[in-house]
Chain A
Amino acid sequence: AQSVTQLGSHVSVSEGALVLLRCNYSSSVPPYLFWYVQYPNQGLQLLLKYTTGATLVKGINGFEAEFKKSETSFHLTKPSAHMSDAAEYFCAGDLGTGANNLFFGTGTRLTVIP
């Protein structure tokens, strides 16, 4: 069955440390994958997306994600965390069901410790 799974509902990192948020998908066809960020009291904003082509995708605010078909993963990384990165992050996928809705993960809340 198609699904998007985020491992870890809460992640804490120190300011300046590497950020790694995990996302795995299950799809019978090549997916389109997205990372969204939600700041407090705001809607979701697109960080980056993978459609086809280059598997390393760069997004806004220094984030990037790598599509790994062999691992069915699309983990989000940032080399150095900033206080302003504290937010909730959602992985989502168009998993080729023929419908145009996205499968969303359950979200990961990132805390950045000064």
Chain B
Amino acid sequence: DAGVIQSPRHEVTEMGQEVTLRCKPISGHNSLFWYRQTMMRGLELLIYFNNNVPIDDSGMPEDRFSAKMPNASFSTLKIQPSEPRDSAVYFCASSLEAGGINEQFFGPGTRLTVL
């Protein structure tokens, strides 16, 4: 398997622009997670889906952030409008809940810079 795929790997945009990050989980996995990593706040869980349904979005910073999972093989994280404080590395991870062991597999991340 190719692992979790994220695109783009790097994104540089200007404040106020819309940003869309994409994730393809490992085939057969039924849970998908979006994380944000910054020097100041470390690794933060933004939202996670189970069987394409959002389960917990309490980590989403504010209404400018939205995430969708239209099918089992694709998810997006959108920021509109973007702000400089959104600059971070965004990770997508997926897992297969099997016997209660939820090992997560991480993608390589998208490094977002908002100018």
Contacts and interface: CB of A to CB of B under 8 A. Distances in A.
A51 interface: yes
Interface in A79-114: 90, 92, 94, 99-102, 104, 106-107
A46 to B, nearest CB: 6
A107 B45 contact: no
A43 B43 contact: no
Interface residues of A, number: 21
B18 interface: no
Contacts of A100: 31, 48, 50, 95, 97, 102
Interface residues of B, number: 25
Contact of A32 (B91, B102, B108): B102
Overall SS of chain B's interface: strand
B70 interface: no
Contact of B33 (A32, A42, A101): A101
Interface string B23-52: 000000001010000000011010010100
B12 to A, nearest CB: 16
A44 B97 CA distance: 19
Contacts of B14: none
Interface of A: 32, 34, 36, 41-46, 49, 51, 90, 92, 94, 99-102, 104, 106-107
